[in-house]
Amino acid sequence: EAGVAQSPRYKIIEKRQSVAFWCNPISGHATLYWYQQILGQGPKLLIQFQNNGVVDDSQLPKDRFSAERLKGVDSTLKIQPAKLEDSAVYLCASSSVRKPFNAFFGQGTRLTVV
């Protein structure tokens, strides 16, 4: 089966600019996650969707980050305006609602804010 697709793979922007990331989960996976992984740290959950509803977004900096999952399939994550500390790899993952519920990750988008 096809894996989780993310684009772009790399992005360099200046601070205060905006950026958007796109994710296409594995077909049929109801749950979609966006994680932020800063170098040397574990993935930090930004937002978790079940179909097109939000399960958790408690760690999403809502003043600058937004995410949507229209039609319960593809998702976009946007940062506006970006800060230097947003430099990280943004990982999208998806999982089925059937056991074992494990997350399948995309290759990630490496964002550098200068």
Partner 1 sequence: GQQVMQIPQYQHVQEGEDFTTYCNSSTTLSNIQWYKQRPGGHPVFLIQLVKSGEVKKQKRLTFQFGEAKKNSSLHITATQTTDVGTYFCAGHGTASKLTFGTGTRLQVTL
Q: Under the rule (CB under 8 A), what is the footprint of partner 1?
A: 31, 33, 35, 41-45, 48, 50, 55-56, 58-59, 91, 93, 95, 99-108
- Shortest distance (Å) from residue 63 CB to partner 1: 19
CA distance 78 to 93: 16
Which lies closer to partner 1 via its Cβ, residue 12 or residue 97? 97
List the alpha helices (DSSP H) in the chain: none
Which lies closer to partner 1 via its Cβ, residue 27 or residue 58? 58
Please tell me whether residue 45 adopts helix, strand or coil conformation: strand
